[in-house]
Amino acid sequence: MKRHDYEHHPCFNDQTRHQYGRIHLPVAARCNIQCNFCNRKYDCVNESRPGVTSTVLTPEEAINCLRTALQLRPNLAVVGIAGPGDPFANPEETIKTIEMVNENFPELLTCLATNGLSLLPYIDRIAQLQVSHVSLTINSVNPEIGEHIYAWVRDGKVIYRGLDAAKLLQDRQIAAIKELKKREIIVKVNTIIIPRINDQHIPEIAAEMKRLGVDIMNCIPIYPVPETIFAAVNPPTAAAVAQIREIAGFYLPQMAHCTRCRADAVGLLDEVNPQGFAELRSACLADQNVPPKTGIAIASYEGMLINQHLGEAQELFVFQRVDSGFEFLEKRPTPATGSGEQRWQELGENFADCEAILVSGVGDKPREVLKKKGIEVVETEGFIEEALRALFNREPLPRIHKKTHACGSNCRGNGLGCG
């Protein structure tokens, strides 16, 4: 029987967070809402924030990594699924992963972090699987405030915007909390503090969460992310955060030691090691006798600049990691156009030795497909030599003027923007 208390969970117990660690298994790639503070495409190796991961794993890969992680870090007590999307926008992968954790490591706690939109249908199942802790991100209990926080909400194939989106999300979140508490599952609420949007509203959120039986609250200052609506918002000061937590603390216990975990976080909360999972995954692959990814592919017209959209690239320049940096390996053809998603599946297989593809533009579907195959697609522009040097030195890639594409799954890249 799993422990359904705070004892060994570092996020819920400030007293033991220096002793027990957590691991987030990044198996949930898709998301069903768009928050105005979130850009999951902007993945810098030096960042530690939700929505960022070095790779997306299948449930089977995740369990193999967990097995290796426990050998390297035996103080891991909690397995969480926190993205990089939402666990219940990826319910099959999420449920299968928890089932496999329980089967192979029944002593470990399991927890989930979700926006709550699609949680309700799965509450009975996660209760059966003894998921002990669920974190919900709730940024308002007033749709007139919420409509300024969310760009859209997708329920099935229907997309809602504005007030309708905020109301739907709020109704689903409240219904989910009620059902979670009926099953005695510990609930933590994460609330992003957004100055001049919801900062004055947070005591009202705390009061409503107390009424619903929530166990603990985590008020987190906004982390401005480039190319989001809230990119220019100034985060609240430390004093403002402390005051908000103090007022919210009249209603609910406050978590004050949050470290904004990545979707692939490993270890103690205080460890600053965003490369942890990438290194761990390499160890997992070594254990399985799978060759590590040592290549970088570049979409380029002439082999000097990163200046081509992935969809229009008939070949990619492949560079191989060596002791001193990267050296040119070959020009490798990409699959022919016209096959839709199958093209990206084939490209992932043909470039399976590459850890990343650097492009000047890419659609959502190829990015998603390739990420599932462990290949990160990074939009950047500039000299290939400079980008490779930055990657070798684990520095942020040069981003001169990163483009935004709205072509979605049908993106072909015809040289005229979105195809």
pLDDT for the residue 51: 52
Any idea what DSSP says for residue 342?
H
CATH of domain 295-410: 3.30.420.130
H/E element, 133 = strand 133-137
3-state secondary structure of 351: coil
The alpha carbon torsion through 72, 76, 79, 84 (nearest 10 deg) reads: -60
For domain 21-284, the CATH class is: alpha beta
Indicate the pLDDT class of residue 223, thresholds 50, 70 and 90.
confident
pTM: predicted TM-score of the whole model, two decimal places = 0.65
* Per-residue tokens: 41: 């495409």
Indicate the pLDDT class of residue 416, thresholds 50, 70 and 90.
very low
Indicate the pLDDT class of residue 123, thresholds 50, 70 and 90.
very high
Determine what percent of the chain falls in helix, strand and coil, rounding each to the nearest 5: 30, 20, 45
- The Cα 315–Cα 247 span in angstroms is 58
Domain boundaries for CATH 3.20.20.70 within the chain:
21-284
pLDDT for the residue 337: 86
Share of residues in the chain with pLDDT > 90 (%): 39
Indicate the pLDDT class of residue 204, thresholds 50, 70 and 90.
very high
